[in-house]
Structure 1
Amino acid sequence: MSGQIHSELKELSLEERILAGLDEDQRLVATTLSGPLCVLAGAGTGKTRAITHRIAYGVHSGVYQPQRLLAVTFTARAAAEMRSRLRDLGVGSVQARTFHAAALRQLQFFWPQAIGGELPQLLEHKAATIAEAARRLRLNTDRATVRDLAAEIEWAKVSMLTPETYLSHAQQRGNPAGFDLRTIARVFQSYEDVKTDRHFIDFEDVLLITVGILQEDARVAATVREQYRHFVVDEYQDVSPLQQRLLDLWLGGREEICVVGDASQTIYSFTGASSKHLLEFGRKYPTAELVKLVRDYRSTPQVVHLANHLLAARRPAGKGADAAWSEPLQLIAQRPAGSAPSFTECADDESEAASVAKGIRALIEAGVQPAEIAVLFRTNGQSEAYEQALSAAGVGYQLRGGERFFARKEVRDAILSLRAASRADADPESGGEPAPALPQQVRDVLASLGYTEQPPSGGGAVRERWESLAALVSLADELASSRGGEFRLVDFVAELQERSAAQHAPTVQGVTLASLHSAKGLEWDAVFLVGLSEGLMPISFADTAETIDEERRLLYVGITRAREHLALSWSLSRTPGGRAHRKPSRFLDGLRPGTSALARSRPGAAAANSRTASRKPPALCRVCGKALNSGAERKIGRCSDCPASYQEATFEALRAWRLEEARSAQLPAFMIFTDATLVAVAEIMPSSLEELAAVAGIGPSKIERYGEAVLAILSAQPQN
């Protein structure tokens, strides 16, 4: 039967073969080649397949010139994956890049004529420069604070703010890195000064300067627009204002653009990403075609149902949040039925990790490959327990975000050996027998480095080394199959070099441990979603309706990573024997058996609260009695002009405790408590958990996690 299908495909034209295998909606995407096109593509619906086949169909049918089409996405790995697929479709000359890579390429070319002189050095890591900027202002910072300052400055720059305009646009940002906004603006300016002194530019500057040149130099803009006639933008829900501005300048008023995205997978709002560009595309381009991809080819009906139900369970949360929430796509599962997702409640974090390791061991024994299993958590600090549990169970793992694959010594040695072998393979004067097929060549070369067909017994460094080499062998098998007999060793080495530059690592046989954010764009046969308790999902610092919605979308992304097996778990206590204060995530209400999607409070309470919210009296200063205007004033409970009433020693004791807690949890200090909250605590001096809970900004999860420690600090302070 398969031979008959293959024969029938060979009789089709090249263009028809490109469209073969696409469903009705994917085919509509692939054949809509001109004018604005918006593709709303749910998780697992084959969006990358649709847009790469669209590009290939457009090139082979003569509508597109490959050198004049630019496909942009958001990660180097995604761009490398797109280039690989385009090569398989015979259109490898089409450029697929990240926004930053495309802009940097243009900047390097146009800098001499538009600016003159030498292009400044690209600053790949901000930490040292931001630390120096803070020192110039005599601010004390640690690694966590520097990381938070870098994130805030990046948000400001992709939002196209300057140190002068930051203050007026960041009023809802709270206290990033534990500093007030005026201090952040000063650090921002100091950072820009340090870069100027050192002749550096950062990645955001690459976009900003390119935008500036295109706006100011009509000749450069005309050259770029002549070069690129058509654009495809993947993951369009993640576009920032700065990236959108660059895209608009590339287009120059033309409408040859195809965008692809899913507002329900918007999980990077904290970096400046916004789904509004996707949602308002039809308003910007009234003639745009709209195609929805809703057939889910990735997950079983049970997984798809859970994902749909999670989004459908979202309730109205206020005018602003409701306006930002888009109607989710209703996915339709295409795979056969599978097992129902499991829900497991554990006594503590240690027992939860042990339970997950046991479940993973059972899957592996049932034939699931370790590389097809993932453990996903909300924060990187949660990984240690699972690393220990998997090690104790004798299960190999890889930590996503840990040591990069191409930085491993055995991988570097392997590439050097393969490159040396490829020179002899490419030498027509070498004589001798014809070279064996690529997979056998790779096996022969890597055998000298310790590769064997069977893995070594046990674990440790020897097993990890073997798994790295085995990943290269598997990649050779995969590429030889997809690229055909003409794909030689020299081509394989070139592929590895390109993948190394893009950090597009091959599959390593080990269970993946990853944060939910870093799992975006990936998928596995089996997924374990862990730590699903209040305070972790949603995270404790998600304290607005909009941020709670983003946490819901983040869990949705986690659920939709699973193809067949999905396990959700949470624990009631952090440590064995600890008090069982934790509660399952509110997002699980209505999903797990025996629960309802209704609010956990008394019936009608939510509606009553929404009806009376507008009649809530204004917060008043406890010193002068005037109405409090800002969020910081309401949190402290007094006007900023009224005198403080706390003891400096108490405040410093709280700050010192917060710093240690932040270091221990690997969290930014302000995520524990903001300075404003600490001031309020120091002034009110609560003596019980009930009084502490009355302080603005301290909710149930923070009472559970930090309440006793804060009261202990306060009780140790000398009384007035």
Structure 2
Amino acid sequence: MNNYDTLNPMQREAVFTTEGPLLVLAGAGSGKTRALTHRVAYLIEEKGVKPWNILAITFTNKAAGEMRDRVNSLVEYGADSVWVSTFHSLCVRILRRFIENIGYTTDFSIYDSDDTKTLMKQIFKDLEVNTKVLKERGVLGVISSAKNEMISPEEFMLSAKAEGDSRLKRIAELYMEYQKRLKKNNALDFDDLLVKTVELFQSKQEVLEYYQDRFRYIMVDEYQDTNTVQFKLVSLLAAKYRNICVVGDDDQSIYRFRGANIRNILSFEETFPGAKVIKLEQNYRSTKMILDSANEVIRNNTGRKDKTLWTENEVGERPVFREFSSSFEEAEWIVRDIVKRGGPWKDYAILYRTNAQSRIFEEKCVAYNLPYRLVGGVNFYQRKEIKDVLCYLKTIANGRDDLAVQRIINVPKRGIGAMSVARVNMFAMENDMSFYEALERAQAVPGIGKAALKIGVFTDQISEFRKMLKEETPIKDVIEAILDKTGYRDELKEEGEVEAESRMENIEELINKAVSYWESAEEPSLSAFLEEVALVADIDSMDESEDRIILMTLHSAKGLEFPYVYLAGMEDGLFPSMMSLMEGPEALEEERRLCYVGITRAEKRLTLTAAKSRMIKGQVQPERTSRFIDEIPDVCLERPDRDDSKTGWKKMADAYRNLPEEAGLPWAKASGADGKAADGHTGRFQNRPAGVSLFGQKSDAYKNPYASGTSAAPKNTLTFGKAFTVEKPKSLDYSEGDRVHHMRFGDGTVKSIADGGKDFEVTVDFDHAAIGTRKMFASFAKLKKL
């Protein structure tokens, strides 16, 4: 039996179709990576294609690594010559060789999000931008969106002027200045890596033709996530030979907020006339019940290519939907359910729509002493000590990187004051040179004084480190020299033994990473190492061998799979998000695709949960079950909490009565000065009074002051724990038929008001069709009469 006999008929057809444009619609868990890697092997071994004529593009380093390993296991010779990389890594390799054609040097720096924020902050300060009108993060987002659409600063300015929008004109000015400073620093941000490669191809036909001839067979994974510039890049490369195979699933297109354009996959046949379409619909991951639930949800989308997942796996259990009084009860139940089922813990994933939902799950895991991994937390490479060491390495590699040099000029402290730095900066700008070049000429800087000697020590050290690298000193020794000769290690020790040890452990891990790179790379270089670090994503560093419960957003979960999955927060306004409900059908369809992605992460068991009340912006709000739950028929979904004798608002009243102490405990604060518990996790309940459990439940040592004795709870009061009470208003300043405003749902008309005893129950018909009619307690709705 050969390698291809193990493939199903549709996978084989995708493998054997090698000439001309091909669209492979690969459903979740349908073995697309297997089909792609076998296709590479087939091209080399059966079609006689040279390995270096094949390009395979993925979206993450992790996926690229897996594909590379699989190809190596299938092909006896030449697999290492196949280019398997992410879009960004591909562009870096091209630019390192040819970027001088568009005015940069090949030792350019790559700015991560932290670097770009720092640069924009400097621009805001220098141009005296009103931060009440514009925010650095918002401007960077607009610039990124423009780059994704291949809109230059000049084009952006013309558009802003045509619209007569002063705010857009100001952003255009900032965009121009931002690009100017990046160029001066010989640096590119992530978006530039793609944009500049396209610019290179469009301006230098000979370079484009070189890569067109090099990559005669092109494959692109996760094509539904491509944006305009990525689409343009692939189209340019494939224009000559048209042997392009794109693999993707329009039902899993969930990155519109990052610029992904679902039209790229939906209109592939229009872009590449004569394209063949193959559907991979057999799922190898999930049970039949889980797939039926996913199919029922996604078929409500209209903007999609028709396909239905099926499987030969067992029928399995119906997914379960559970409702809880509050988000606290929801988290408590999920974690207890995991404890009840037992390890291995890495089999469990808790998925949610927003990062803010993770906090309560973290606290419950800590309370139960369960090991967990929060994906999307602080990236290893964003930690201060790691950024410091990397900036030393960046300065050694590219002296024109002003941001890197300015970060470390006084780290560790050298007695070089802010005024001295400002004078050097001014000297650099007046003489059209980089900040580091100005440092090397410090003696010539007006008014620099004694600081010139301290600056000289710094530049001498950088020169020494450069010499070490040139002499091929092991990278470990170079980093150790940086730590010792600059005094960085000694300054860390001054922070305290525990803090220093933690930071040094992180630096040791960076050294391990550098050594590993140097040992595995064919032609190791500092620039190449720095670009590998810059392009790493949080999901790439996830260690699947760690036995920990995974906490992550639904967006982060794409491409992963777990035996047991919990989808938490299945409530309208949370999932689907309120913004999507306001925006309209296109945004809602993307949320539905996100739900489909979440459901199809589960292999054996899927549990969906919702809360009847949730703390939002400091206020407890009633919640409505997500419409996505209603799209799953009962034949596919078990709902043990459904009880017609105790519906809707009776449950809501119970939700408020049963809210745990966490809802408003004055002592719910972190214990240490650093806001962390002893084990390093953020802990909110360390300073609780004696007798109060982690779950807000009172032990015998703590008695409710209203339970007995002379004190009595005030009438018409809902109690949410100590110091958190809401009194029923004596009257309302609005009546039936009045127009009112809700801080979350917007404007609406009061349809009815009922006296519920402990509070008024108000029914409002909101203007926005997606919100509809809602019933809520007056004390929490805080409606304002219009």
Question: Structure 2 length as normaliser, TM-score?
Answer: 0.60
- Residues 121/351 of structure 1: CA separation in 2 closer, same or farther (3 Å cut): same
Counterpart of 1:383 in structure 2 is 358
> Do structure 1's residue 146 and structure 2's residue 136 form an aligned pair?
yes
Question: Partners in 2 of 1:265 and 1:249 — Cα distance?
Answer: 25
- Residues 181/302 of structure 1: CA separation in 2 closer, same or farther (3 Å cut): farther
Counterpart of 1:156 in structure 2 is 146
Question: Partners in 2 of 1:305 and 1:595 — Cα distance?
Answer: 7
Q: CA deviation at 1:370?
A: 1.1
> Does the 8 A contact of 1:570 with 1:584 survive in 2?
yes
> Do structure 1's residue 67 and structure 2's residue 52 form an aligned pair?
yes
Matching residue within 564, 588, 591 for 2:629: 588
Figure out how many residues of one structure are paired with residues of the other and give that number: 521
Counterpart of 1:23 in structure 2 is 8
- SS of the residue corresponding to residue 286 of structure 2 reads coil
Kindly provide the amino acid, as one letter, of the partner of residue 308 in structure 2.
Answer: Q
Question: Structure 1 length as normaliser, TM-score?
Answer: 0.65
Counterpart of 2:604 in structure 1 is 564
Name whichever of 70-79 and 352-361 sits farther off.
70-79
Post-superposition Cα deviations, 1:345-381, rounded to whole Å, max 9, x if no partner, equal 11111110001101111222xxx52112100011111
Q: CA deviation at 1:298?
A: 0.5
Q: CA deviation at 1:39?
A: 0.3
- Residues 170/34 of structure 1: CA separation in 2 closer, same or farther (3 Å cut): farther
Determine which structure has the larger helix proportion and give its number: 1
Q: CA deviation at 1:509?
A: 0.9
Question: Partners in 2 of 1:306 and 1:712 — Cα distance?
Answer: 38
- Residues 117/193 of structure 1: CA separation in 2 closer, same or farther (3 Å cut): closer
- SS of the residue corresponding to residue 574 of structure 1 reads strand
Counterpart of 1:81 in structure 2 is 66
Determine which structure has the larger strand proportion and give its number: 2
> Does the 8 A contact of 2:294 with 2:596 survive in 1?
yes
Question: Partners in 1 of 2:520 and 2:768 — Cα distance?
Answer: 54
Question: Partners in 1 of 2:181 and 2:776 — Cα distance?
Answer: 39
Q: CA deviation at 1:182?
A: 4.5
Question: Partners in 2 of 1:493 and 1:146 — Cα distance?
Answer: 40
Q: CA deviation at 1:44?
A: 0.6
> Do structure 1's residue 336 and structure 2's residue 314 form an aligned pair?
yes
Question: Partners in 1 of 2:330 and 2:51 — Cα distance?
Answer: 52
> Do structure 1's residue 43 and structure 2's residue 21 form an aligned pair?
no
> Do structure 1's residue 105 and structure 2's residue 146 form an aligned pair?
no
Matching residue within 532, 552, 569 for 1:531: 569
Name whichever of 244-253 and 561-570 sits farther off.
244-253
Question: Partners in 1 of 2:356 and 2:32 — Cα distance?
Answer: 33
- Larger Rg: 1 or 2? 2
Q: CA deviation at 1:200?
A: 2.5
Q: CA deviation at 1:693?
A: 3.5
- Residues 291/492 of structure 1: CA separation in 2 closer, same or farther (3 Å cut): farther
Q: Percent identity of the aligned residues?
A: 31
Kindly provide the amino acid, as one letter, of the partner of residue 341 in structure 1.
Answer: P
Q: CA deviation at 1:236?
A: 0.6
> Does the 8 A contact of 1:211 with 1:245 survive in 2?
yes
Question: Partners in 1 of 2:14 and 2:73 — Cα distance?
Answer: 19
Q: CA deviation at 1:102?
A: 0.6
Question: Partners in 2 of 1:345 and 1:711 — Cα distance?
Answer: 25
Post-superposition Cα deviations, 1:81-119, rounded to whole Å, max 9, x if no partner, equal 211222222323311111111111111101235646555
> Do structure 1's residue 554 and structure 2's residue 594 form an aligned pair?
yes
Counterpart of 2:332 in structure 1 is 354
> Does the 8 A contact of 2:53 with 2:215 survive in 1?
yes
Kindly provide the amino acid, as one letter, of the partner of residue 89 in structure 1.
Answer: L
Query: What is the aligned-residue RMSD (CA, Å)?
Result: 4.1
Post-superposition Cα deviations, 1:38-65, rounded to whole Å, max 9, x if no partner, equal 1000001000110111101211224321
Kindly provide the amino acid, as one letter, of the partner of residue 215 in structure 1.
Answer: Q
> Does the 8 A contact of 2:58 with 2:222 survive in 1?
yes
The gaps in structure 1 that reach 5 residues or longer are 1-11, 315-321, 412-460, 469-488, 597-684, 716-720
The gaps in structure 2 that reach 5 residues or longer are 387-498, 507-514, 638-737, 750-765
Question: Partners in 2 of 1:285 and 1:565 — Cα distance?
Answer: 41
Question: Partners in 1 of 2:239 and 2:283 — Cα distance?
Answer: 36
Q: How do 1:77-226 residues align onto structure 2 when only pairs under 5 Å count?
A: 77-90=62-75, 91-113=79-101, 115=103, 117=105, 119-125=107-113, 126-141=116-131, 145-166=135-156, 181-226=168-213
- SS of the residue corresponding to residue 614 of structure 2 reads coil
Counterpart of 1:676 in structure 2 is none
Matching residue within 251, 254, 277 for 1:264: 251
Matching residue within 357, 361, 371 for 2:346: 371
> Does the 8 A contact of 1:687 with 1:711 survive in 2?
no
> Do structure 1's residue 506 and structure 2's residue 578 form an aligned pair?
no
> Do structure 1's residue 395 and structure 2's residue 370 form an aligned pair?
yes
> Does the 8 A contact of 2:223 with 2:265 survive in 1?
yes
Question: Partners in 2 of 1:236 and 1:79 — Cα distance?
Answer: 14
- Residues 328/379 of structure 1: CA separation in 2 closer, same or farther (3 Å cut): farther
Q: CA deviation at 1:327?
A: 3.2
- Residues 566/293 of structure 1: CA separation in 2 closer, same or farther (3 Å cut): same
> Does the 8 A contact of 2:349 with 2:564 survive in 1?
yes
Kindly provide the amino acid, as one letter, of the partner of residue 348 in structure 1.
Answer: S
> Does the 8 A contact of 2:746 with 2:767 survive in 1?
no
> Do structure 1's residue 53 and structure 2's residue 38 form an aligned pair?
yes
> Does the 8 A contact of 2:747 with 2:767 survive in 1?
no
- Residues 524/36 of structure 1: CA separation in 2 closer, same or farther (3 Å cut): same
> Does the 8 A contact of 1:406 with 1:505 survive in 2?
no
Question: Partners in 2 of 1:204 and 1:211 — Cα distance?
Answer: 11
Counterpart of 1:452 in structure 2 is none
Question: Partners in 2 of 1:709 and 1:152 — Cα distance?
Answer: 36
> Does the 8 A contact of 2:23 with 2:268 survive in 1?
yes
Q: How do 1:280-359 residues align onto structure 2 when only pairs under 5 Å count?
A: 280-314=267-301, 322=302, 325-359=303-337
Counterpart of 2:684 in structure 1 is none
